[in-house]
């Protein structure tokens, strides 16, 4: 059972947006950010015709969601992958297309709650922050090797940190004598570096830096730039892509891709739309939907959510897959 602490954001609205694409027998839903499986569980419960493929780069999330969703048997398939590998996942399962794709971006509640992962600034822990702890450099590696210019860019671009250059200079100065290894050391530096008046507003002074490091360590924007167009390519006619974003950079990226996919590609002064020039997709949401006050009170994580959705209304110009629609049961990587 999902606890309030782990309540999926805008759960009812997300399922409602997915439902028209998943009411057909044999429909396939891909949850690109499986996490603890809350959204997938709701789809499996409320849309009995749907099969669910859950993707996550975090092996522990896959283990926990497999346990949670085991009662649904062969209707659920777990895959260890990063979500920009979506086309390979779909092809590997022998599918020519899927009917719905969902992204719940950012860090999961489970990752924040496990102290040893180093995502949270509230407790001292190893500075890891990898969503897949089996591969790649850690946040400590980044802090100890990046140039001052690169650290400044990361903090400014991903964290919108006003004191990015000042923090970067202090990180480089301190790592010369004591390399960073734990989150408590970084939090201490941030308290000492960010001026007191700035620390009294805008939440915890470490929030922006930790967010920026997490996004850089996991290449979250790079992965998203590849994944959103890929998700559009793998849905069939009537299929939908639904995205929940929590960061302005993520939401702008999603908005831009959706706008391009739903726009007419003809001169604005053309008196008619040539056959075949109509957009292959349409916007399902008007702008970005947000959580209401009640949802935010119940689930504070919903305060920054931006929800967008598109639907394919015409076939893609050329088929991207030619395999069978059969989904082999229990396939995982």
| Residue positions forming the annotated binding site for S-adenosyl-L-methionine | 37-39, 56, 83, 104, 111
Which residues fall in the annotated binding site? 37-39, 56, 83, 104, 111
Contact present, 145 and 213 (Cβ < 8 Å): no
Spatial CB neighbours of 37, under 8 Å, sequence gap ≥ 6 = 31, 54, 64, 65, 68, 69
In three state form, how does the secondary structure of the chain look?
A: CCCHHHCCCCHHHHHHHHHHHHCCCCCEEEECCCCCCHHHHHHHHHCCCCEEEEEECCHHHHHHHHHHHHHHHHHEEEEECCHHHHHHHHHHCCCCCEEEEEEECCCCHHHHHCHHHCCCCCCCCECCCCCCCCCCCCHHHHHHHCCHHHHHHHHHHHHCCCCHHHHHHHHHHHHCCCCCCEHHHHHHHHHHHCCHHHHCCCCCCCHHHHHHHHHHHCCHHHHHHHHHHHHHHHEEEEEEEEEEECCHHHHHHHHHHHHHHCCCCCCCCCCCCCCCCCCCEEECCCCCECCCHHHHHHCHHHHHCEEEEEEECCCCCCCCCCCCCCCCCCCCC
In whole angstroms, what separates CA 175 from the centre of its chain? 31
């Amino acid at each position: 059972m999902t606890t309030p602490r782990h309540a999926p954001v805008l759960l009812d609205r997300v399922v409602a947006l997915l439902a028209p694409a998943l009411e057909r027998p044999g429909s396939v839903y891909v949850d690109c950010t499986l996490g603890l499986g809350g959204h997938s569980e709701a789809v499996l419960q409320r849309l009995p015709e749907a099969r669910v493929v859950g993707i996550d780069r975090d092996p522990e999330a896959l283990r926990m969601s497999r346990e949670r969703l085991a009662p649904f048997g062969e209707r659920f398939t777990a895959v260890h992958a990063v979500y920009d590998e979506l086309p390979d996942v779909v092809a590997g399962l022998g599918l020519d297309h899927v009917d719905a794709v969902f992204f719940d971006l950012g860090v999961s509640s489970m990752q924040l709650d496990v102290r040893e992962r180093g995502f949270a600034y509230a407790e001292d822990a190893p500075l890891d922050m990898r969503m897949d702890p089996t591969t790649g450099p850690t946040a400590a590696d980044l802090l100890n090797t990046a140039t001052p210019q690169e650290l400044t860019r990361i903090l400014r671009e991903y964290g919108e940190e006003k004191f990015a250059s000042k923090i970067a200079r202090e990180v480089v100065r301190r790592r010369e004598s004591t390399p960073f290894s734990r989150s408590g050391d970084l939090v201490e530096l941030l308290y000492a570096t960010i001026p007191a008046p700035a620390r009294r507003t805008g939440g915890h002074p470490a929030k922006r830096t930790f967010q920026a490091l997490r996004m850089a360590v996991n290449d979250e924007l790079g992965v998203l730039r590849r994944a959103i167009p890929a998700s559009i390519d793998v849905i069939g006619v009537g299929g939908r892509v639904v995205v929940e974003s929590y960061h302005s950079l993520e939401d702008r990226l999603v908005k831009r891709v959706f706008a391009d996919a739903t726009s007419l590609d003809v001169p604005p002064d053309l008196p008619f739309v040539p056959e075949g020039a109509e957009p292959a997709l349409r916007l399902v949401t008007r702008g970005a939907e947000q959580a209401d006050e009640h949802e935010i009170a119940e689930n504070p994580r919903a305060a920054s959510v931006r929800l967008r959705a598109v639907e394919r209304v015409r076939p893609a110009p050329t088929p991207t897959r030619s395999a069978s629609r059969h989904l082999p049961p229990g396939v995982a990587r």
